[in-house]
């Protein structure tokens, strides 16, 4: 399988729960390497830009409200099949549907407060990594 870099965000609920270390440990245990990371409190404008593909969706405003409600921890994960591997670790978007043992099953409270975000395709991963880590995106293209 190809070596990939994907973007992961620990959302405000996960940061508020003091769960950054526990979630990062899961990525590392699954063979994903954290190749860039930072804690950031997104402005509304940044959150809207990051989630621009969802602009027309009915949940957009609530999702943005939630994403700016506190700091998030953003990281780029690198490894074999990193995009799918990260999505497997996260579990389904809606925590009620997330398989037992996944990050969302363990840490998420609702579909907005769902602990983590992860890129969903190679193209999204490129755009999302570049959004937060432009230099890394150039080096790892
Ligand atoms: P995320 O993977 O960060 O991408 C968009 C986010 O919108 C998603 O996780 C959810 O937290 C949030 N969201 C809220 N309602 C929905 C919905 N009905 N479908 C998909 N995502 C939703």
Pocket of ligand 1 (CB under 6 A): 54, 59, 63, 93, 111-112, 114, 117
- pLDDT score, position 136: 86
Which candidate in 41, 54, 117, 139 is catalytic?
A: 117
Active site residue 117: yes
What is the number of the ligand 1 atom nearest to the C-alpha of 60? 7
- pLDDT score, position 141: 55
Angle formed at CA 10 by CA 134 and CA 90, multiple of 5 degrees = 105
- Mutate-to-test residue for ligand 1 from 8, 59, 68, highest number of ligand atoms within 8 A of CB: 59
Distance 51 CA to ligand 1 centre (A): 10
What is the number of the ligand 1 atom nearest to the C-alpha of 120? 2
- pLDDT by position in tens, the chain (length 141): 799 999 999 999 999 999 999 999 999 999 999 999 999 999 999 999 999 999 999 999 999 999 999 999 999 999 999 999 999 999 999 999 999 999 999 999 999 999 999 999 999 999 999 999 998 866 665
- pLDDT score, position 115: 98
- pLDDT score, position 132: 97
- pLDDT score, position 34: 97
User: What is the CB neighbour count within 10 angstroms for residue 135?
Assistant: 9
Distance 94 CA to ligand 1 centre (A): 8
- pLDDT score, position 74: 98
- pLDDT score, position 33: 97
Burial 42-81 (b: 16+ CB within 10 A, else e): beeebbbebbeeeeeeeeeeebbebbbbebbbbbbbbbeb
């Amino acid at each position: 399988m190809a070596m990939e870099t994907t973007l992961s965000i620990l959302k405000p609920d996960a940061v508020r729960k003091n769960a950054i270390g526990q979630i990062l440990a899961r990525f590392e245990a699954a063979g994903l390497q954290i190749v860039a990371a930072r804690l950031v409190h997104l402005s509304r404008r940044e959150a809207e830009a990051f989630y621009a593909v969802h602009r027309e969706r009915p949940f957009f405003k609530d999702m943005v409200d939630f994403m700016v409600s506190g700091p998030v921890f953003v990281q780029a994960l690198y490894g074999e099949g990193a995009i799918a591997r990260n999505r497997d670790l996260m579990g389904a978007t809606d925590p009620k549907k997330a398989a037992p043992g996944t990050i969302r099953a363990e840490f998420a409270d609702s579909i907005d407060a769902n602990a983590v975000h992860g890129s969903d395709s190679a193209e999204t991963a490129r755009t999302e990594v570049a959004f937060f880590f432009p230099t890394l995106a150039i080096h790892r293209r």
